[in-house]
Structure 1
């Protein structure tokens, strides 16, 4: 039995502003979950390194270039994405809160949210942020 599996990457970007931890989210421009907030990320190209893909997607969707990222873990529960069997490798990065995000590519909006006031998130992105929080 042949199974189609796709790989995505996401970056949970944290910053510390006035002793509050913030996370950068994008509002999805396209389905699935159009109009919902999500972690910046996307599909890995066939000949692309995971870290390079994560940095590329982050820059495309937020206008911000990240230098260093650290892998959090993989997320692969069946049904986590309505488009099919998709495994996501999550990374985290600390960036400056003064970075002003500029939505691009398939992001309609990009903005900072404090961790204690997150909106409802697409996919399993609340779980991904929770996993990244252990590094705080």
Structure 2
């Protein structure tokens, strides 16, 4: 992990590479969490996180599933949706610079209990149908982008 000041310089100066986890249950509902932190604070968003330096995508995927969802999942279980770009006018530090992510979207099916999910990044969790999340003003546009083709 980077020190706070080093990480701040990185966020202010370059894009971050991350993985978003598009989790569906057996009913094809999508798991969203209500973001506690900037960027996207106060919006419903898919779980995910940054890939760390010298970390392989497969290892980052497994780590993020464990940290964000509190369970284990194999990388081969996931379907790669493609790369996405997320631009935010704010940042985690509250300073006056933007945040830019290059995001690798991965979809997987997991039936997990909302009661077992971590509260570090999200203050609440909910299962949404695709129609519900697309219609909601509280769901962030970057999350809606994963479903813009009607899937």
Bucket of the pairwise TM-score, normalised by the shorter protein: 0.7 to 0.9
**Does the 8 A contact of 1:81 with 1:123 survive in 2?**
no
Mapping for residues 56-75 of structure 1, pairs under 5 Å:
56-67=63-74, 68-75=77-84
Residue 110 of structure 1: CA displacement? 2.1
Aligned: 1:104 with 2:111:
no
Q: How many residue pairs get matched?
A: 124
Residue 86 of structure 1 corresponds to which residue in structure 2?
101
**Does the 8 A contact of 1:72 with 1:131 survive in 2?**
no
Separation in 1, partners of 2:150, 2:66: 20
Please report the TM-score for the alignment, with normalisation by the length of structure 2: 0.70
Q: How has the CA–CA distance of structure 1 residues 64 and 26 changed in structure 2, closer, same or farther, with 3 Å as cutoff?
A: farther
Please report the TM-score for the alignment, with normalisation by the length of structure 1: 0.77
Separation in 1, partners of 2:73, 2:57: 14
Mapping for residues 8-23 of structure 1, pairs under 5 Å:
8-17=18-27, 21-23=28-30
Structure 2 regions of 5+ residues with no counterpart? 1-12, 90-97
More helix by share: 2
**Does the 8 A contact of 2:65 with 2:71 survive in 1?**
yes
SS of 1:85's equivalent in the other structure is: strand
When the two chains are superposed, the root-mean-square deviation of aligned CA atoms in Å is: 2.2
Return structure 1 stretches of 4+ with deviation > 4 angstroms: none
Larger radius of gyration: 2
More strand by share: 1
Aligned: 1:126 with 2:135:
no
